[in-house]
């Protein structure tokens, strides 16, 4: 730990301070170039301060690392308590990295309220890091709630024509879940004898009845975020209306918060209830995978299609978590990281086209490869990764989860395998209709291929997708100790304490 302020604090506060600075300076769009540069510096700085988390990480232990702990509200035993293990650390990095891309992606397109736009993303990035690093229940809750505000504004202010509807829907949904979680947090505070320490909660003995109720409360908070079927309906609207950057952050990071919550709260705090209700979680995951696959097939709007495919992919994650074996959980985590890259990249691709043609409708395109060959190559890679093609990151997680599921039930694995077919069908069909063929109309004929900035963004993501696809070892090594420890913990019943 550094003198005074730790690395995790830096990853949280550097972007937030940068964001506040932008708000203080901004307001005048005539100085937008300076604002953009400052935002980029803030985002890159935020990423740089997170790198020591990776380089200094001890892969051999499951214990929390880079821990910071100081009293915050002593009257209620609330602490400013941060720390990461192999499960949360990759997400801090992913988030900080995505923020850089998002700032770059909004460089030219956003011309109004530039400072506020950039500030919203930077602040959001800091808050999200807070969510992944918080080890105190109240601190987590605050970050968890606060991160909604920037996203709400991003959708509501810079979104599409139907943005207000989408923003309100988004807010209503997530609020509903959060309130139930607050009840759970308070219950655990009293049950644990007055502690908000999440790690202490892991060891609190609980009756099965209490566990089941806590499960329901947490389920709502996290299932809405994932989102799991049938509380997923806010996501397609939010994605469709959000500006490109908003969609990227939403898909790449915000959804992961829900899945992360299951691993940090649900599995360890209520292990018996998790086992008891695993069938339900598996069923909802499989429904998400199959049902959403079907819905995605008939989408005419590219962003909606990718949004639905996100739901199906996240179904894989929750499926992997609730089969309680290392292949499933590690596969789920790899899938989360991979989906961060792939869905982010696909939304950026749609953004690239939308910036030029101002349409997200598949029918408005056709033959884009003729005018934008470089772009078509990138989009092909990401479409393939989304379809789970071996050699890309998209396959690894699905491969591990399917093999893990096979240990539990062949039929579940078969049903999960269906998503690979649906995934291929809707993704490749979209790709075929948008990219291939003769030039469909004069607008497509006038398209310009990607410029250096766009190339850089997409190339960075392409490297990540391919590297993770052929060599995921560095990532899984980081997770291994923590996942094994989590599984051991979950295997012990709390009822016998």
Asked if residue 298 binds another protein (CB under 8 A), the reply is yes
Three-state SS string over 186-246 comes to HHHHHHCCCCCEHHHHCCCCCCHHHHHHHHHHHHHHHHHHCCCCCCCCHHHHHHHHCCHHH
Q: Identify each DSSP E strand in 54-140 by its residue range.
A: 65-73, 78-84
Q: Which is nearer to another protein, 46 or 472 (CB)?
A: 472
- On the CB side of 192, CA atoms within 13 Å amount to 21
Asked if residue 306 binds another protein (CB under 8 A), the reply is no
Rounded CA Rg of the chain: 22
Backbone φ and ψ of 183, nearest 5°: -60, -45
Asked if residue 450 binds another protein (CB under 8 A), the reply is no
Residue 355 tokens read as 């910036």
Asked if residue 169 binds another protein (CB under 8 A), the reply is yes
Asked if residue 17 binds another protein (CB under 8 A), the reply is no
Q: Which of 13, 72, 80, 429 binds another protein (CB under 8 A)?
A: 429
Size of the site for another protein (CB under 8 A): 70
Asked if residue 46 binds another protein (CB under 8 A), the reply is no
Alpha carbon 204 to chain centroid, angstroms: 29
Q: Which of 471, 488, 491, 493 binds another protein (CB under 8 A)?
A: 471
* Short-list 113, 273, 132, 283, CA closest to 208: 273
Residue 484 tokens read as 């094994």
Q: Which is nearer to another protein, 54 or 410 (CB)?
A: 410
Q: Rounded CA gap, 404 and 446, in Å? A: 48
Asked if residue 13 binds another protein (CB under 8 A), the reply is no
Q: Which is nearer to another protein, 143 or 412 (CB)?
A: 412
Interface characters, 360-379, with another protein (x: CB under 8 A): -------x-x----------
Interface characters, 147-166, with another protein (x: CB under 8 A): ------------------x-
Q: Which of 161, 193, 194, 438 binds another protein (CB under 8 A)?
A: 438
Contact 337, 94 (CB under 8 A): yes
Asked if residue 391 binds another protein (CB under 8 A), the reply is yes
Residues in CB range of 26: below 8 A, 6 or more apart: 35, 113, 114, 115, 116, 119
What is the distance in angstroms between the CA of the first residue and the CA of the last residue of the chain?
35
Q: Which of 387, 458, 483, 490 binds another protein (CB under 8 A)?
A: 387
Residue 14 tokens read as 């550097």
Collapsed DSSP state (helix, strand, coil) of residue 82 = strand
Q: Which of 302, 384, 444, 483 binds another protein (CB under 8 A)?
A: 384
Q: Which is nearer to another protein, 200 or 408 (CB)?
A: 408
Asked if residue 189 binds another protein (CB under 8 A), the reply is no
Site for another protein in 317-346 (CB under 8 A): 325-327, 330
Alpha carbon 277 to chain centroid, angstroms: 24
Interface positions with another protein (CB under 8 A): 165, 168-169, 172-173, 176, 209, 212-213, 215-216, 219-220, 224, 230-231, 233-234, 236-237, 273, 277, 280, 291, 294-295, 297-298, 325-327, 330, 367, 369, 384, 387, 389-391, 395-396, 399-400, 402-404, 406-407, 410, 413-414, 417-418, 420-421, 424-425, 428-429, 432, 436-438, 470-473, 476-477, 480
């Amino acid at each position: 730990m550094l003198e005074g302020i730790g690395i995790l604090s830096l990853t949280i506060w550097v972007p937030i301070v940068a964001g506040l600075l932008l708000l203080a300076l901004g307001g005048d769009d005539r100085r937008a170039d300076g604002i953009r540069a400052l935002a980029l510096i803030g985002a890159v700085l935020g990423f740089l301060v997170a790198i020591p988390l990776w380089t200094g990480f001890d892969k051999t232990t499951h214990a929390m690392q880079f821990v910071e702990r100081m009293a915050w509200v002593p009257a209620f035993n609330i602490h400013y308590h941060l720390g990461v293990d192999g499960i949360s650390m990759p997400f801090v990095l992913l988030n900080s990295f995505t923020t850089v891309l998002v700032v770059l992606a909004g460089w030219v397109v956003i011309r109004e309220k530039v400072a506020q736009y950039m500030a919203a993303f930077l602040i959001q990035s800091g808050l999200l890091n807070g969510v992944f690093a918080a080890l105190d229940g109240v601190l987590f809750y605050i970050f968890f709630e606060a991160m909604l505000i920037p996203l709400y504004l991003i959708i509501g202010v810079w979104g599409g024509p139907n943005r207000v509807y989408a923003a309100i829907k988004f807010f209503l949904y997530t609020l509903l879940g959060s309130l139930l979680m607050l009840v759970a947090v308070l219950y655990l505070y009293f049950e644990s004898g007055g502690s908000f320490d999440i790690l202490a909660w892991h060891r609190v003995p609980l009756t099965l009845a209490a566990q089941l109720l806590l499960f329901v409360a947490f389920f709502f908070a996290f299932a809405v975020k994932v989102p799991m079927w049938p509380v997923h309906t806010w996501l397609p609207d939010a994605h469709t209306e959000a500006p490109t950057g908003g969609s990227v952050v939403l898909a790449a990071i915000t959804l992961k918060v829900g899945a992360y919550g299951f691993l940090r709260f649900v599995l360890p705090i209520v292990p018996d209830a998790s086992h008891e209700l695993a069938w339900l979680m598996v069923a909802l995951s499989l429904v998400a995978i199959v049902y959403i696959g079907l819905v995605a097939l008939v989408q005419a709007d590219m962003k909606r299609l990718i949004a639905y495919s996100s739901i199906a992919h996240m179904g894989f994650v929750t499926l992997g978590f609730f089969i309680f074996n290392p292949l499933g959980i590690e596969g789920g985590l790899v899938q989360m990281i991979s989906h961060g890259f792939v869905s982010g990249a696909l939304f950026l691709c749609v953004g690239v086209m939308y910036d030029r043609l101002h349409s997200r409708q598949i029918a408005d395109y056709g033959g884009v490869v003729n005018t934008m060959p470089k772009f078509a190559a990138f989009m092909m890679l990401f479409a393939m990764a989304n379809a789970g093609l071996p050699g890309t990151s998209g396959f690894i997680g699905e491969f591990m989860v399917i093999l893990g599921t096979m240990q539990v039930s062949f039929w579940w694995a078969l049903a999960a395998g269906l998503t690979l077919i649906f995934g291929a069908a809707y993704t490749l069909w979209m790709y075929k209709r948008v990219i291939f063929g003769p030039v469909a109309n004069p607008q497509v004929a006038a398209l310009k291929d990607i410029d250096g900035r766009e190339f850089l963004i997409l190339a960075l993501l392409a490297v990540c997708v391919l590297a993770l696809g052929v060599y995921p070892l560095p990532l899984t090594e980081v997770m291994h100790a923590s996942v094994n420890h989590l599984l051991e913990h979950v295997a012990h019943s709390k009822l016998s304490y």
